[in-house]
Each structure stands twice: as structure tokens, then as C-alpha cells.
């Protein structure tokens, strides 16, 4: 059993609260990703789990043991650092074996484990090299290897891929996921990159300003963001937010943004009821905006007329930056047969069932 439980964890640096009453549970063998923009407290939380940062208040359990006052070395964890933190004066073999040597493992056992890690990571050829003779990706592998050889209960990753170039990052993502399956260990992975979170996590923990915003499997936080922050943070490109008012006409609810008015699906009605006439924020993901389908039912009330500002072609898909009066929208749509020109009029349909409505005051999700 190596679950990790944080209870009401608080960290203050003088007057600044870095982690504010954080409670969460990471299950055994789970790949948990702590994600949030920089300064959200995710790294501080991870360092507290590691024991590198003293706790202001709260409790941390690793595998049912309260570790608040335990030294890092006694917590049975391994950590992979953003800057790799390799020992510059040791070669790769010594870097990998250091933790075992310190723990007085027999030499044969150390050798065997180093071999095994080198096998897993494909770094056999590098064993005799010093860190400064390695590329960034190779160093990252060595840093991973150093964590692997220890066979700890919990792996902690602190933005391990952020110093790699984009291509290598994609490759390493897959590799770490594979590694997780192979090792079957609990992993707590900190990143600011929601793509990493989405692609690798069993569960995502989204943090903002020191507090946990939402926990869930990737598709869940994507489809059902708990609040406007999560909605904006998860998904790329980010969700469009438009200030609007809820109005009731006949028996349907309308989202009135001034320049346009769209009809909310009937499924929303119950939730929207209490917000009649209130100021809300209307959210729609770029991928839920499509070019107007003339064949569609005109009564759907999901079409709006906009002007194209910029059109970026990705290949099969295009980004279209739209203005609709004072509102700006980004749309990600299939490339139409007739090339769009900038500055032209364009009618678009919104996939209304996938849109969201947020309370403008509390930012909480209404629908």
C-alpha cells in the first residue's frame, strides 16, 4: 500500500500562503498529476511530500504512515527534478548507484539494479560518462534511472520535461507512461502543462492560488470543469469566455451576449432557472464551433454571424479568430472546401450541448 494522503496541508512563506488547506488522496499505483499555472503551489506541495520543505500545518501520510517529521530519506520516495539534479562529479553509474550505496546495499545488488535501470531506459552506453557529457534528454533518463533503482513506494516528478525540446517532450511523455505501467508504482507528477496532464494522468489534480480546484480523470475535468478556471486551463486552445445575460423567452432560455443571442438546450433549463436575468459567463470550446450548416434546423438558435480576423491553417483543421461585435472567439474547425479569407463574414454554429455557463461572481460552473 502506497497511497498518499494530504490533510489540510498549509504552507506559508512569511506572509505569502503558497499552499492553502490542501486535502487530497492519491491512490496506490495511481499516476496523479498536479497541474496548475506557475505559482499555484503545486511544486511546494510536492516538496512537502518529499520532505524538502517543512510543513506549516496539516498532515501528510504515505502508505498510512504520518511522515510530517520524517527525513526525506526515510519516506521511501524518489524524486525527479526539473533540472535533473545529477551529481556533476559522478559518472552515470555512480549517479544511479549513489542512493543504494548510501543505504549500504551490497555491491552486487547495486550493480544488478543499475543494469536493470539502464536496460529499462536504454542508457547502457552512457554509464561511464559524466553528466556534462550528456544531452538534455540523456540527463533526463539518468535522473529517471536514479529514481528507478531505488524501487521506492512513491515517485515524485517535479516538471521533469519542461527543459526538453517539444519533440523530445512528446516522446518522453509516452515513455514515462510506459514506465508507470511497468513499475506499477504510485507517481505524483507536477506540471504546468495541461497537455502532459491530460495525456499521462490517471487522475488530474488542478490547483490554483494554493488551493485544489478539481480532481478527476482527464476526460471528466475536460468535459465537466468545476469552475471557470478549470474550464480555461484544461483544453487547448483555451475555452472562449463571453460575458452574457440569461434571458427567458417563451419556454426557452437564451444566452444574450448583446451582439448575438443563442438558445440554451432544454437540458440546461433546470440549472439555469435560478439565474434568470443574471449576469453570467458563457463558455464555448474552439472545437465546438463549426462553420454554419445550411441544412441544419434554423430553429436551433445556435448560429451567429461573425467576421474572420485571422485564419491559421494547420492542415486538416484551421484556427479561425472571429470577432462578433465586441466579442472575440477562436474556432477550431475542419478546413472548408472554399478557402476562408480574412475579414469576410462567416456564420458559425455552436454545439450548444457542450457549452458551459458560469456564475460571473463566483466563477462556479452553472452548466
Binding positions for other proteins, rule: CB under 8 A:
50-52, 71-73, 77-79, 81, 83-90, 98-99, 102-103, 130-132, 146, 150
C-alpha closest to that of 244 among 114, 367, 97 = 367
Tell me whether residue 86 or residue 284 sits nearer to other proteins (CB atom): 86
Closer residue to other proteins in complex, CB, 73/124: 73
Which residues 6+ apart lie within 8 Å of 171 measured at CB? Answer: none
Residues 6+ apart with CB under 8 A from 283: 228, 231, 239, 240, 241, 242, 355, 356, 357, 358
| Closer CB to other proteins, 26 or 333, in the complex | 26
CB 205 within 8 A of CB 341: no
Tell me the torsion sign for CA atoms 111, 115, 118, 123: positive
Q: How far is the CB of 310 from other proteins (least distance, A)?
A: 42
End-to-end CA distance of the chain: 38
Instruction: Return phi, psi of residue 231, to 5°.
Output: -60, -40
User: What minimum distance in Å lies between the beta carbon of 188 and other proteins?
Assistant: 13
Sign of CA dihedral 185, 186, 188, 189: positive
Helix, strand or coil for residue 218? helix
Contact assessment for residue 290 and residue 340, using Cβ atoms and an 8 Å cutoff: no
Number of Cβ within 10 Å of residue 180's Cβ equals 19
Which lies closer to other proteins via its Cβ, residue 36 or residue 99? 99
* Residue 78 vs 348, nearer CB to other proteins: 78
Q: Which is nearer to other proteins, 32 or 96 (CB)?
A: 96
DSSP 55: -
Q: How far is the CB of 209 from other proteins (least distance, A)?
A: 25
What's the closest the beta carbon of residue 122 comes to other proteins, in angstroms?
A: 22
Q: How far is the CB of 157 from other proteins (least distance, A)?
A: 12
Smallest distance, other proteins to C-beta of residue 177, A: 23
Amino acid at each position: 500500500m502506497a497511497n498518499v494522503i494530504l490533510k489540510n496541508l498549509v504552507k506559508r512563506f512569511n506572509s505569502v500562503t503558497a499552499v492553502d488547506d490542501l486535502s487530497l488522496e492519491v491512490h496506490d499505483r495511481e499516476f496523479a498529476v498536479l497541474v496548475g499555472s506557475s505559482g499555484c503551489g503545486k511544486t511546494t506541495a510536492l516538496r512537502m511530500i518529499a520532505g524538502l520543505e517543512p510543513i506549516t500545518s496539516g498532515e501528510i501520510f504515505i502508505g498510512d504512515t504520518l511522515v510530517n517529521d520524517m527525513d526525506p530519506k526515510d519516506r521511501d520516495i524518489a524524486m525527479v527534478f526539473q533540472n535533473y539534479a545529477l551529481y556533476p562529479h559522478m559518472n552515470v553509474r555512480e549517479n544511479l548507484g549513489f542512493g543504494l550505496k548510501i543505504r549500504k546495499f551490497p555491491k552486487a545488488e547495486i550493480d544488478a539494479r543499475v543494469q536493470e535501470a539502464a536496460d529499462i531506459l536504454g542508457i547502457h552506453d552512457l554509464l561511464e560518462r559524466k553528466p556534462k557529457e550528456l544531452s538534455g534528454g540523456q540527463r533526463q533518463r539518468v535522473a529517471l534511472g536514479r529514481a528507478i533503482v531505488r524501487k521506492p513506494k512513491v515517485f515524485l516528478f517535479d516538471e521533469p520535461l519542461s527543459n526538453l525540446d517539444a519533440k523530445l517532450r512528446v516522446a518522453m511523455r509516452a515513455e514515462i507512461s510506459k514506465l508507470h505501467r511497468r513499475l506499477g508504482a504510485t507517481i505524483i507528477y507536477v506540471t504546468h502543462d495541461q497537455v502532459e496532464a491530460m495525456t499521462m494522468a490517471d487522475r488530474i489534480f488542478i490547483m490554483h492560488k494554493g488551493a485544489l480546484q478539481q480532481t478527476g480523470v482527464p476526460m471528466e475535468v475536460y468535459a465537466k470543469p468545476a469552475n471557470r478556471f478549470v474550464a480555461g486551463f484544461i483544453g487547448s486552445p483555451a475555452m472562449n469566455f463571453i460575458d452574457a445575460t440569461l434571458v427567458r423567452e417563451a419556454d426557452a432560455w437564451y444566452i444574450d451576449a448583446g451582439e448575438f443571442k443563442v438558445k440554451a438546450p432544454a437540458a440546461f433549463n433546470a440549472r439555469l432557472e435560478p439565474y434568470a436575468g443574471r449576469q453570467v459567463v458563457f463558455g464555448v470550446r474552439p472545437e465546438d464551433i463549426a462553420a454554419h450548416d445550411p441544412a441544419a434546423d434554423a430553429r436551433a438558435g445556435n448560429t451567429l454571424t461573425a467576421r474572420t480576423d485571422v485564419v491559421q491553417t494547420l492542415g486538416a483543421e484551421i484556427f479561425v479568430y472571429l470577432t462578433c461585435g465586441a466579442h472575440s472567439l477562436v474556432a477550431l474547425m475542419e478546413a472548408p472546401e472554399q478557402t476562408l479569407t480574412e475579414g469576410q463574414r462567416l456564420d458559425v454554429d455552436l454545439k450548444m450541448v457542450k457549452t458551459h455557463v458560469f456564475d460571473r461572481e463566483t466563477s462556479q460552473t452553472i452548466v
